[in-house]
Structure 1
Amino acid sequence: MDVSASGAGTGRMIGELEIRVLGPVEARRGGRPVPLATGRQRTLLAVLAMSAGEVLSAETIGDRIWGEVLPVHLRRSVQTLVTRLRQAVGSDAVATAPHGYRLTVEPGCVDAARFLRLVEPAPVVRSVADERADLVRALALWRGAPFEGVNSDWLRGVEAPRLLERQLAVVERRIDLDLAAGRHAELVTELGDLTNRHPLRESLWCRLLEALDRCGRQAEVLERYEAVRGTLRDELGADPGPGLRAIHARLLSRTLAEPVQTIVPRQLPPDVPRFTGREDEVEALDALLPASAETPVPMIATVHGAGGMGKSALAVHWAHRVGDLFPDGQLYLDLRGHGPGPPVEPADALLALLRGLGVADDRIPGGLDARSAQFRSLLAERRMLVVLDDARDADQVRPLLVGSRCLVLVTSRRQLRGLVAREGAHRIALGPLAPAASVALLAATLGPYGVAYDSAQLAELARLCGHLPLALGLAGEHATRQPTGLASFIAELRHRADRLDLLEVGAERGTRVRDAVAWSYRELAPRDARTFRLLGRYPRTRISRTAAAALVGVSSAEVRLSLDRLLDVHLVDELGPGSYEIHELFQLYAAELAARVDGGGSAPLLGEVV
C-alpha cells in the first residue's frame, strides 16, 4: 500500500477507520472518536492493531491482554471481548478466522505502522529535504507515550520500548540533518530537554555537546560533559563511551591549542621577614623535591597545626626558597578555611586559579567538575607549585589537585586525614617553636628598636607565650613599646588572667591569640566543645584519658572519640597512648569559655578528678 495515499496527517483513512496507539489508545471513524467503553476494549484494539492484517489466536490474544493471570474460560472471554469491540468499531473491523481473529484494516490505518513505514530506508535516493520532511511527518504522529490508558504487560514491556527506541533514533536522525544544515542554535533547547528526559542516552548528549560547541559555548560543553560523566558514574558505575570521550578530547585539544596569553604566575605573598627556626620541617619539605627536573614530584604535601602555629609563614617561606625549581610559576590562594567569613567554595577557588593562568572568563565553565577538569588539563604539562593556604577540609582541596609534574602544598588546622588516606598526601605536623628559635625570633624583633633585655628575660617571655609563633609576634610588638625594658611586661604576662588580653594588638585578623583558638572552637560539635571547655578547669596542661573521662563525666570510649576530634583540629596534642596535652594559652581560653558557658557546676570537682 502507498503510505502517502493513506492521507498521513489528514485523518481520512481507507474504510474511514483510524486506530491510534502512539499516545492514548483510541479509534476514530470519519475523523470522529469512537467510544470504547472499557480499558479491555482499548487493550484488545491495540493488540490487534500491532498485528493488523494478521490472524491472532485466542491464546495469543489472551497472553498479550491478561499476561500470566488468564481467565478461567479464555476462549469465551476473548470471544465476548471481540463482540463488544465489534459493536464499538464496526462488525467488519474484526474478522473471525479458522484459528483466531484478524483486524481487517490496512496497516496504514494504524499510526504506529504508518510511522514505521515513513521512517524506513527509502528504496530510492531522496533529497535531504524530502528525508527530513518524512521524518517530521512521522514524528508528528506521536501524541504521547505509546499505549496510554491500557493495561498490558506485553504492550508496555515489548512493543512500547521498541517504538520509543525507534522514535528516539528518528529524532536523532532529524537532529543530525539539522546540525548539517547549520541549525545548531535552535537545537540547544530541544536537546537540553531530551537529555533531561533521557539522562543515560549518550547519543543525545553527544549531539547536545556538538550543538553547544558550534554555538561557541565551549565552557558549557566542558560543564555538561562533567555532568553526564557524573551521572553515568553514579547510575551505571561506568565512564562515558567513545563518542562522548572523543568530543571532549577534541574540544580540550582545540582549547589548549588556541593562543592564550602566556602567563607565568608569581602569586606568592612576600616572604616572611625574620623567619626563624623550623629547620626540621624545611628539611622534610625539601626531601619531597625530585632529584631532577625530569622526575615527577609528589602530588600533595600538607602542613598542619594549631591556629597561630606559623603554617602559612612556613609554606610561603619554603615556596620562595624553592620557587626556581618550578619554572612554570607559582599559584597561591587563601582558602579562608578558618576565620570570620565563609570558606572559599571549590568552584570559586578554581575560578581564581584559572584566571591566574590567564584563562578568560568566557572560556571558564560554570560547574565545579568542568572547572576542575580544565585546571588539571592546563597544568598537565607544566611544572608548577600551587600553595593552598588555610584549607578547611579535604573536600575543599580535592577538586584543586593536579598532576604529577606539579606540587600542591596545603596548610590547614586539620590533619586532612582523608588526603593522606585517599590521595597519598605527605603530612608534616607543626608544633610550637623550639625554645632557642623562640628567643631568636624575639631578639630579631626587638633588635631594631633598641629595647633593653637579657637572654633570661627573652627565655621567660618565650615561655609565657608557649613558644607559639603568633603569641611571640604579638608579645614582640608589645615589647617594642617598652623603652624601659621587659621586666614590667613580663610581670604582667605572668598573671594568667590577663595574659590573653596582653597578647593582642588590634581587631584585625591575625592579631589576637583568642581569635586563633576561637575559629577552631566554633567548628566543634557541642559535645566536643564542652570537652574542650572543661579542659580549661583542669589544673595541669597534661591529662590522661581516664582523667579526661572523669572530668567530662562520660565513658573512656566516649572521651577518646571527643579527644580525637580535638586532636584533628589541633586543640590538643597526643603525647602517647591515652595521654594528651593542651597548649597553655589554649587552656586559658578554654577556662574563659567554661566560666562563661558552663558556670560553676558543670564539671566534677577538680580534686575528685586529680
Structure 2
Amino acid sequence: MLAVQVLGPITVRRNDVALALGPPGRKAVFALLALAHGKPVTRAELVDALWGDRPPASAANIIHTHVKHLRQLLEPTRGARSPSTTIPTVGDGYALDVPPDAVDAFRFRSLVARAASLASDKRREAADLLSRALASWHGRPLADVPLLAAHPGVVTLAGEHRAALARYAELMTAVGAARDVLPALVDHVAAHGLDEAVHALLIRAYTAAGQRDRAFDTYHGVRRRLMDELGVGPGPDLTAAYLDALEETPADGAAAPAEAPPAPSGVNQLPGDVFGFTGRQAELAELGRVLTSERTGVPIVVVCGTAGVGKTALALHWAHRVRSDFPDGQLYVDLNGYGSRSPMAAEDALGRLLDGLGVTGTDVPVDSDHRAARYRAELADRRVLVVLDNASAVDQVRSLLPGASSCLVLVTSRSSLAGLVALHGAHRLDVDQLPEPDSLALLHALIGERVRREPEAAAELVACCGRLPLALRIVAELASSRPASTLAELTGELADRRHRLRVLDTGDDARAAVRTVFSWSYEQLPPEVARAFRRLGLHPGPDVTPFALAALTGTDPDQARRSLEVLARNSLVRRVPGGRFAVHDLLLAYAEELAGEHDPAPERSAAVERLLADHLATASAAMDLLYPVDRPHRSDVTATPSPAFTTADAARAWLDAERSTLVALCRAAERDDRPGHVVDLANTLYRYLESGHYADASTIYGCALRAARRAGEDALLAVALTNLGALRRILGDYDQAAGHLREAIRLHRRTGERRGLPRALSNLGIVQERLGEYEEAVSLQQEALDAHRRAGNRHGEAAALLNLGNAYSRPGHHHRAAEHLERALDLFRRLGDAGGQASALANLGDVCATLRRYPDAVRHLSRARELFQHIDHRYGVAVTLSNLGNVHIRLGDWAQAHRCLTAAIRAFRDIGHRYGEASALNGLGEALRAAGRSDAALAAHTDALRIATETGDQDEQDRARTALGGTRRQA
C-alpha cells in the first residue's frame, strides 16, 4: 500500500518502505500528479511547470521517461507491456490513481473541511480536528522540490496551512487553552520570520495565556526584523494585536508586571551630563512637578533665559536624572536657533530625531508633513523624552512635538515661545543668572579651596562673570592654569579688561560679561591654538573634526587635534561623540568676529577653499570605493583625502557622519559665490544621495542650480540640471523632471560634454516611459546606449541596456525587453556591480511574470531583494516587494500578495516615491478584487489613480481606470 507525503519533503512509502524517486525533475512530475488528487495533469501543464515558456525541444520525451521510471518504481511487478494502474495515461497527460487518503494533503484538507462544517458551539471538537490536520505537516510543502516552489498548488497549500493554524489558534483561545497552541505558533514563527499574520496570532495567544512579557518581546522582535530586512514598520493586524496586549488585563493567576510598557529601545541621544553641576534646586523641583502632574495632551516645558545662563546644562542634567522614567529612549537635537549660522529647519531636525528612532536612509520621508507624521507614528506607543535645544521660534518646534501624551518635550530657548504656551499648553520655566551662593558653589566645585581662602575676591570674580555658568567655567579653567596667582589678581585683570573692551551689546550686562571672559581666555592661548580658534568661526557645519580644522589652518590633523584638545581644556569647545568637537553658539560668533578682525580676507578665503577642497577630495575617495564605476563622472581633484579609507564601510560611515556638514558646505559655497565647488560636490555625491537621502539631495542640488545660474556657466548648469532632473524623476514629479532634463540635454549638446549627456538622456527616457511616450523613451535610451558605447563606458552601456529593457516592457514587446535586461544583467555581473545586478534582476523578474515564467520571476525577484538588502538599498527592497506581490496575485496567493504589497506601499510612502506607491496600490487593488473584497479594492485603485494623475503617470492611470471599471461592475 502506498503512502505519499507532500506536506514537507516529498516522500513515498510502500508498505512502510521508503522509495527513492530519483532526480529533481522526476520528483517534480510525481509531486504534480500527487497534488492533483487523482485528476489528470496534461503534458502541457507538466512542461509549463518544469520549464516555463522556454522548454527544451525534447521536453515531451523527458517527461515520458520520468513517467516510465516512476511506473517501474511504483509497480515493480508490472509487465513491460501491461498498462499502468498507478499512473495511467489519460488523454495527453497522466494521473496518480491511489486512494485519496494515501496522500497527506488530501487528509489535511478533509480534516479542515470537517472542522469547518461543525456548528459554532462545537469549538472543542473543531479544534481537535484541526490539531490532527496540522499534525500532518512536516515543513514547507515539497521542501526538496525547488522547481515547484512558486507553483500555484504549492502556494495554495501554504495558504491553507496558515488559515488552518489561525483558526486553530482562535478556537483554542476561545476554549481557554491558549497555552496549548503556543508550540505550534512558535514553530511557525520560527520558520516564517516575517509573517506578520502569524506573529499577530502568537501575540494574541501569549496575551490570552497571561504571558504579556512574551507578547511584547514578540512584537518588538518582529518589528525590528521588518525594519532591518524589509525597511517597513508593523502592519495594522500586528499593531492591533500589540495594542490589545497593552490594554489586556492579565489572566487570573498569571504572573504579570505591575505595568507593561514596550521593551526599552535603548536609544539615548543625550550629550553627557554637565560636570560639576551646581544649584538650580528650585528649577529642578519645578521640572519634577511637571513630570508627575496629571495632564492632558503632550507635556511640554519651555526652559527660557538669556545666553550663557545655563539653560542647556539644566535641561541635560535633569534629563539624565529622569532617564529611567522614559524607558523607550531620550532624543536630543540642537536647533541652532541663535548661532551665527542659519537655524536648523524643522524637516532637518525631524531627520535627526527619526535617525535616533532607527528610521534612516530611504525610510525618512522627503515631504516634511510625511516626515512629521512618521515621527509621531514612531513615538505613538513609546515613552520618550525629547530635548529640543536652542529653539528660536515656535514654528521651528511645532512639527517636532509628539502626538503621544506618554512622551515629554523639553525645549530650551532665549525666547519665551509664547505660542507654545498659548496653543499647546506648554509650561514655561524662566532661568535667571545663578544666585551668588550657587555661583560660588560652582566655582568651588571647579577650582577648590581657593574660593574659601579668598571669599571677597571670589565674590567679585562671580560678579565679573555676570553669574553666568558659561563664563564661570571658562574663568575656572584660567584659574586652574595659573595656580600661583591669587583670585584677587585674576579678578583685577578681568575687571580692568572689562572696562577696556567694547562689548557685543552695551545694553546687556550678561553679554558684556561673557564677551569679557571670552577675550581674557582667548588671549591666554598659544598663537597657533588662538589661530585655530579663529578658524572655527569659518566652519559652516554643526561640529568640526581634526581633519576639517587641519584644512582650515593649513596644518596636519595631529596638530589640529592638539589644538582642539587645548581648546577643550579651556572650555572653548566641547567633545561630542565620534571624535568631533562642538562650539557654543556665543563662542562661535566670537571666533567669527576675531577672524574678521585679525585674519586678512585672502587668508580667510584660502582657508575656506582648503576646507571645500578637502571635503570634495574625501567625498570623491569615499565614492570611488562605494561606486567605482562612476569614477569617470566625477571631477578631478587635486587635494589629498583626509581621512583615507581602506574599506567601503569606512567610506559610507564618513559620508553618513559628514552629510550635515556637506549640506552646510554647499550652502556656504553658494552664499560665497563658489559655483564650481557646489556643482562638483553635488555631482560627486549624487549616487550616494539618490540611494535614499532625498531631502539632503534636494537641498544640495538646489544650491548647485542657483549657483550655476548665477555664474552663467553652461557646463555647470547642465550638470546641476541633470542631477535635479534625476531627483525629481525619482520623486515622481515628471513635469518638472522633464523640464530640467530637456534643458540639461540642450546645454550638454551645446558645450560638447560627452559624459553627462547620456545620463540626462536616460533619465528623460525613464520619464517619458512613465508618461506613456514609449517611442520617445526607446529613442532616448537607444541614443544614450550609443553614446556610452562610443565613449567606451561599459557601466553606462549596462545601465542604458537596463533602461532600454524597461522602455520595451509593454504589451507586444516583452520578449525584447527580457533580451535587453538579460544583456544588462550579464554586463553588470562582469563589472561586479551588485546594485546594477539587483536592478536588472528586479526588472527581469517583472517581465518574466508578464510572460508567465513564474518560477523565473520568483527566482529573479528573490535574488534582487537579497542584493538590495545587502547594499542597504531600501527603495530596491520596496520595488521587489511590490513585484513579488504582483507575482503572488497571478499565482492566486492573495494573502501573500496582500502582505508584500502593503509592505511595499508603506516603504514607498516613507521614502516619498509616488510612482512606486501608485503602482503598489494598483497591485493591492487587484489582489483585493481577486479575493472578493471589492470595496477595499475600489479604495486602493482610487488612491492609485489620484497619485498617478498628480504625477502624470499614464501607465498607472490607465491601470487604475481599467481596474475601477471592473471593480464597480463586480460590486
TM-score if structure 1 supplies the norm length? 0.52
Q: Which amino acid aligns with 1:69?
A: R
Question: Is 1:553–2:544 an aligned residue pair?
Answer: no
Judging changes above 3 Å, is the alpha-carbon distance between structure 1 residues 536 and 301 closer, same or farther for their aligned structure 2 residues? farther
Where in structure 2 are the equivalents of 1:167-566 lying within 5 Å? 167-232=161-226, 240-253=234-247, 310-311=310-311, 314-315=314-315, 333-334=320-321, 347=327, 403=404, 408-409=409-410, 453=456, 458=461, 462=465, 468-470=471-473, 488-491=486-489, 537-538=528-529, 543-544=534-535, 549=551, 551=553, 553=555
1:38 is aligned to 23
- Kept in 2, the 8 Å contact 1:300–1:407? The answer is no
Give the distance between the partners of 1:443 and 1:76, measured in 2 at CA: 96
Give the distance between the partners of 2:593 and 2:233, measured in 1 at CA: 48
- Kept in 2, the 8 Å contact 1:86–1:94? The answer is yes
Q: Which amino acid aligns with 2:555?
A: G
Query: How far apart are 1:99 and its partner, in Å?
Result: 2.8
Give the distance between the partners of 1:108 and 1:444, measured in 2 at CA: 86
RMSD: 6.2
Give the distance between the partners of 1:23 and 1:455, measured in 2 at CA: 83
**Counterpart among 5, 19, 25 of residue 4 in structure 2:** 19
Q: Secondary structure at the match of 1:408?
A: strand
Q: Secondary structure at the match of 2:157?
A: helix
Give the distance between the partners of 1:178 and 1:374, measured in 2 at CA: 33
Q: Which amino acid aligns with 2:29?
A: L
Give the distance between the partners of 2:280 and 2:88, measured in 1 at CA: 102
Question: Is 1:47–2:32 an aligned residue pair?
Answer: yes
- Kept in 2, the 8 Å contact 1:542–1:579? The answer is no
Query: How far apart are 1:89 and its partner, in Å?
Result: 0.9
1:591 is aligned to none
Judging changes above 3 Å, is the alpha-carbon distance between structure 1 residues 222 and 303 closer, same or farther for their aligned structure 2 residues? farther
Q: Which amino acid aligns with 2:529?
A: Y
1:594 is aligned to none
Q: Secondary structure at the match of 2:3?
A: strand
Give the distance between the partners of 1:316 and 1:96, measured in 2 at CA: 81
1:527-581 alpha-carbon deviations (Å, 9 max, x no partner): xxxxxxx9774357962468975645169xx99xx99986635499322795568
Question: Is 1:131–2:123 an aligned residue pair?
Answer: no
Give the distance between the partners of 1:145 and 1:313, measured in 2 at CA: 58
Q: Which amino acid aligns with 1:574?
A: L
1:525 is aligned to none
Give the distance between the partners of 2:554 and 2:31, measured in 1 at CA: 74
Question: Is 1:77–2:71 an aligned residue pair?
Answer: no
Question: Is 1:101–2:94 an aligned residue pair?
Answer: yes
2:587 is aligned to 573
Judging changes above 3 Å, is the alpha-carbon distance between structure 1 residues 206 and 115 closer, same or farther for their aligned structure 2 residues? same
How many residues are aligned here?
423
**Counterpart among 135, 158, 161 of residue 164 in structure 1:** 158
Give the distance between the partners of 2:442 and 2:73, measured in 1 at CA: 103
- Kept in 1, the 8 Å contact 2:327–2:383? The answer is no
Q: Secondary structure at the match of 2:18?
A: strand
Query: How far apart are 1:471 and its partner, in Å?
Result: 5.9
Q: Which amino acid aligns with 2:409?
A: V
Q: Which amino acid aligns with 1:32?
A: V
Give the distance between the partners of 1:444 and 1:373, measured in 2 at CA: 42
1:111 is aligned to 104
Q: Secondary structure at the match of 1:152?
A: helix
**Counterpart among 123, 139, 143 of residue 144 in structure 1:** 139
Q: Secondary structure at the match of 2:4?
A: strand
- Kept in 2, the 8 Å contact 1:62–1:70? The answer is yes
- Kept in 1, the 8 Å contact 2:443–2:473? The answer is no
Q: Which amino acid aligns with 2:582?
A: D
1:323-358 alpha-carbon deviations (Å, 9 max, x no partner): xxxxxxxx864379xxxxxxx8974878xxxxxxxx
- Kept in 1, the 8 Å contact 2:302–2:410? The answer is yes
Give the distance between the partners of 1:132 and 1:166, measured in 2 at CA: 16
Give the distance between the partners of 2:314 and 2:305, measured in 1 at CA: 8
Give the distance between the partners of 1:259 and 1:103, measured in 2 at CA: 57
TM-score if structure 2 supplies the norm length? 0.35
Q: Which amino acid aligns with 2:136?
A: L
Q: Secondary structure at the match of 2:151?
A: helix
1:9-57 alpha-carbon deviations (Å, 9 max, x no partner): xxxxxxx222222222232222222333333322221111122432333
Judging changes above 3 Å, is the alpha-carbon distance between structure 1 residues 313 and 19 closer, same or farther for their aligned structure 2 residues? closer
Give the distance between the partners of 1:225 and 1:49, measured in 2 at CA: 38
Judging changes above 3 Å, is the alpha-carbon distance between structure 1 residues 549 and 312 closer, same or farther for their aligned structure 2 residues? closer
Query: How far apart are 1:167 and its partner, in Å?
Result: 1.3
1:356 is aligned to none
Judging changes above 3 Å, is the alpha-carbon distance between structure 1 residues 311 and 146 closer, same or farther for their aligned structure 2 residues? same
Query: How far apart are 1:165 and its partner, in Å?
Result: 1.4
Give the distance between the partners of 2:439 and 2:66, measured in 1 at CA: 99
Judging changes above 3 Å, is the alpha-carbon distance between structure 1 residues 159 and 55 closer, same or farther for their aligned structure 2 residues? closer
Query: How far apart are 1:93 and its partner, in Å?
Result: 1.2
Q: Secondary structure at the match of 2:534?
A: strand
- Kept in 1, the 8 Å contact 2:87–2:94? The answer is yes
Query: How far apart are 1:223 and its partner, in Å?
Result: 4.6
Identity %: 27
Judging changes above 3 Å, is the alpha-carbon distance between structure 1 residues 452 and 568 closer, same or farther for their aligned structure 2 residues? closer
> Which protein, 1 or 2, shows the higher relative CO under an 8 Å CA cutoff with sep ≥ 6?
1
Q: Which amino acid aligns with 1:168?
A: R
Judging changes above 3 Å, is the alpha-carbon distance between structure 1 residues 24 and 410 closer, same or farther for their aligned structure 2 residues? same
Give the distance between the partners of 1:46 and 1:386, measured in 2 at CA: 58
Query: How far apart are 1:178 and its partner, in Å?
Result: 2.1
2:544 is aligned to none
Give the distance between the partners of 2:223 and 2:439, measured in 1 at CA: 52
Question: Is 1:86–2:71 an aligned residue pair?
Answer: yes
Q: Which amino acid aligns with 1:120?
A: A
Give the distance between the partners of 1:543 and 1:441, measured in 2 at CA: 29
Q: Which amino acid aligns with 2:588?
A: E
2:626 is aligned to none
- Kept in 2, the 8 Å contact 1:53–1:103? The answer is yes
Q: Secondary structure at the match of 2:54?
A: coil
- Kept in 2, the 8 Å contact 1:298–1:404? The answer is no
Give the distance between the partners of 1:119 and 1:456, measured in 2 at CA: 87
Q: Secondary structure at the match of 1:213?
A: helix
Give the distance between the partners of 1:272 and 1:345, measured in 2 at CA: 23
1:250-279 alpha-carbon deviations (Å, 9 max, x no partner): 4445579x9999xxxxxxxxx965999x9x
Give the distance between the partners of 1:23 and 1:406, measured in 2 at CA: 48
Judging changes above 3 Å, is the alpha-carbon distance between structure 1 residues 159 and 95 closer, same or farther for their aligned structure 2 residues? same
- Kept in 2, the 8 Å contact 1:195–1:201? The answer is yes
